[in-house]
Amino acid sequence: MNFTAQLSISEYPPYAETYLKHLKSDDILFALQERLEFCKQFYSQISEEKANFSYAPDKWTIKEVLLHIVDSERVLSYRAMAFARGELQALPGFDQDAYVRNSQAQKRSLQSILEEFEAVRKSTISLFAHLPSETLAIVGNANNFPVSVRALAAMIAGHEIHHTHQIQTKYL
Per-residue pLDDT tens digits for 41-87: 999 999 999 999 999 999 999 999 999 999 999 999 999 999 999 99
CA distance to 5, 133, 136, 157, per residue, from 24 (Å): 11, 21, 19, 10
Which 8-state DSSP code applies to residue 91? B
Cβ atoms < 10 Å from Cβ of 28: 24
Per-residue pLDDT tens digits for 103-160: 999 999 999 999 999 999 999 999 999 999 999 999 999 999 999 999 999 999 999 9
**β-strands 145-148, 139-142 pairing:** antiparallel
Cβ(74)–Cβ(155) below 8 Å: no
**Measured on CA atoms in the order 32, 38, 44, 48, is the torsion positive or negative?**
negative
Banded pLDDT at 24 (limits 50, 70, 90): confident
Q: Residue 60 corresponds to which amino acid?
A: W
CA distance 96 to 126: 25
Confidence check: pLDDT of 4 > 90 = no
CA distance 49 to 53: 7
pLDDT recorded at residue 70: 98
pTM of structure: 0.96
Domains of the chain and CATH, by start: 4-171 (1.20.120.450)
